[in-house]
Structure 1
Amino acid sequence: MARMGRPTVDVVLTEDERETLLRWARRATSSQALALRCRIVLACAGGASNTQAGRDLSVHPVTVAKWRRRFAADRLEGLVDEPRPGAPRTVSDAQVEDVVVRTLESTPRDATHWSTRSMAAEVGLSQSTVARIWRTFGLKPHMTDTFKLSTDPQFIDKVRDIVGLYLAPPEHALVLCVDEKSQIQALDRSAPVLPMMPGMPERRTHDYSRGGTTTLFAALNVATGQVIGQIHRRHRATEFKKFLARIDNEVPAGLDVHLICDNYATHKTPAIQKWLAAHPRFHMHFTPTYSSWLNQVERWFGLLTERQLRRGAHKNVQALERDIRTWIKHWNENPKPFTWVKTADEILERLTGYLKRIKDPSH
C-alpha cells in the first residue's frame, strides 16, 4: 500500500519570476540564505521532488518543502525572512531618563560616585540594564580626569602667540618646540622578562634596580617633525645653553629660529639671556603657566615614553642613552609632524565652557 503524506505543491513560474529568481541567485550582493531559497524554488519549478532538490542542493527535504509552500503562498515576497517577534520592552523611557539624570546630578550617600550595583539598587533595575544605559550614553562614573587652570595673567596673549606660530608660521623661519625630559631612569628588572606567548602577555617582575638618571633635551621641528636631541646628565642653564648652540649649528644661517618653551627657570637665567642677545635670530615664546599641552614636543616625549622607555630594561645609564639616541635616529628617518587644528578662539571658547561648569565660585 502506498504511503500517504502531505501532497507536494506544484511550483509554476512566470517569466518575470524566473528572471528575478535567477538574478537573485547569481547576484554577488544577495545573502547566501536568499540565494539558496531561490535555487530551491527554481529546482522545484523544474519538476524536482523535495528529496531530489534537497540532495542536489545539500539541504534537508523538509527545508525544500518549507520554501516550496512559502513561495506558492506568497510568491517572491515569501522568500524574505519574516519579522521575528522579540520580547516586550521592560525598561521605559522614563526609567532610562531617571538613570541618566541621577548619574549626572547626584552621588550615592555612602560613596563619591555611582557603581552599577548602587545605581541598580537605587532605581530598581538590574546591573546589566544600568551598564547598557551608561554605555549607550557614554557615562563612566568610575573614571576621572585631571586638569589645571593657568594663573598666567598673559594667558590669552601667549595662547594666541603660540597657536599663531602653529597655524601661520612666519616666512624664512623655523618653529621649534623645545623642552627637556629630565630624570629619565635606567631601570632593570630583578629577573629576565618572560616573553609573550599565545594566550599570555609579556610578564615582568614588579621590582627593579636603578642604574642612574639622564636628561634629554629635544627640539621638535613643527613643519617636518624632525627632532634635534642632545643628552646631558644634568639639566642646568649650562646644559640648556649647550643645546641652544647645537640648534644654532644645525639650523641654516639664513633662517630665524622661533623657540616655544615652558617657564622653567633654566630657560630665563642671565646666562641664557646673554646668549640670546648675542644670537638675535633666536626668538623665545613661552607657554602660559600650567599649559605644557601647548608645546608639541610634550606629545613627542609621550611617544618616546610609550614606545621605548616604559617597557625598556637598561642596566646602566649608558645603555639607556644609547637606546634613546637610536630611537631618535629612527624617528628622524621617517618623521611625522603633528597637525595642530584648534584655533586660539576655539581653545579660549572651550576654556570658557570649563569655567562655567565649575561649581565652586572661589575658583
Structure 2
Amino acid sequence: MRGPLRMRALTAEEERVIGKLAHSRTASARLVERAKIIELAQKGQTIPQIMQQLHLSEPTVRKWWKRFELMGLPGLEDVGRPGTPRHYSDLDRAKIIEVALTRPANLGLAFNCWTFDRLTTSIQQQFGIAMKKTRIFEILHEEGLRWRQQESWFGERLDPEFAQKRGLLKP
C-alpha cells in the first residue's frame, strides 16, 4: 500500500457541510459515503482504517480524498458523463413543440384541438419527423405540455344509419 495522505484543514463551511452530509438520510448514498470518507480523514484516520470501516476499496478512498483536496466540496459531486449523442436535433424538438402549441385549424387541419394521437400523426406525416410516440411524449412532458384525451365518439360514426335509428331529438 501507498503511504498515508494528509488531510488539509477544512474551512468552517466545509466542516459544517461535510458533517451534515455524512449523517444525512436524504442526500444520495454516494454523496453520504464520500462525505464520510472526508469526515474520517479529518479525524485522523488512515486510508486502511477508512477502507475497513466503510468497506471500500483503496482506489475509491484515494479518489474521493484527492478530489476533495483539489476541488473542495464540488469535488464530491458526480462529474457529468458524455453518454450517447442525441438522435434528434434541437430543430426537431423545437418543431414538435411549435406544432403542439399551434392550433390545428391554423395548420390547415380539420379539427380544432390536439389529442396525442392526432399530434403524433401530424408530426410524423405532415412534418416528416420520424420519431416514436414515446419520444414525442417525453419531449412534450419535459416542456410541461399536456393534451386532451381522445374522445371515443369523435370522428365518423360506425353505424351510418345511426341518426335514422335514433330518431328525432326534440318532439
Pairwise TM-score range, normalised by the shorter structure: 0.5 to 0.7
Aligned amino acid, residue 44 of structure 1:
A
The answer for unaligned runs of 5 or more in structure 2 is: 111-116, 155-168
Aligned amino acid, residue 151 of structure 2:
T
**SS state of the match for residue 42, structure 1?**
helix
Give the structure 1 partner of residue 137 of structure 2: 131
Change (3 A) 1:145 1:137: farther
TM-score normalized by the length of structure 2: 0.58
1:40–1:67 contact (8 Å) kept in structure 2 = yes
1:24–1:38 contact (8 Å) kept in structure 2 = yes
Give the structure 2 partner of residue 96 of structure 1: 96
Change (3 A) 1:46 1:94: closer
| Cα deviation code 1:230-257 (max 9, x no counterpart) | xxxxxxxxxxxxxxxxxxxxxxxxxxxx
Change (3 A) 1:37 1:21: same
Larger radius of gyration: 1
Give the structure 1 partner of residue 157 of structure 2: none
Give the structure 1 partner of residue 161 of structure 2: none
| Cα deviation code 1:25-69 (max 9, x no counterpart) | 224444332222111012223443433312210222221111111
* TM superposition outliers: structure 1 runs of 4+ over 6 Å: none
Relative to its length, the structure with more strand (as a share) is: 1
Change (3 A) 1:115 1:77: closer
Give the structure 2 partner of residue 155 of structure 1: none
1:9–1:72 contact (8 Å) kept in structure 2 = no
Which one of the candidate residues 6, 10, 19 is aligned to 2:6? Answer: 10
Change (3 A) 1:20 1:94: closer
Distance, in Å, in 2 between the alignment partners of 1:53 and 1:13 is 18
Q: How many correspondences in the alignment?
A: 139
Distance, in Å, in 1 between the alignment partners of 2:136 and 2:11 is 55
1:34 matched to 2:31? The reply is yes
Distance, in Å, in 2 between the alignment partners of 1:44 and 1:146 is 69
1:62 matched to 2:75? The reply is no
Distance, in Å, in 1 between the alignment partners of 2:71 and 2:41 is 15
| Cα deviation code 1:45-96 (max 9, x no counterpart) | 3443433312210222221111111111012232233345565572335412
Q: Aligned Cα RMSD in Å?
A: 3.8
Relative to its length, the structure with more helix (as a share) is: 2
Change (3 A) 1:100 1:119: same
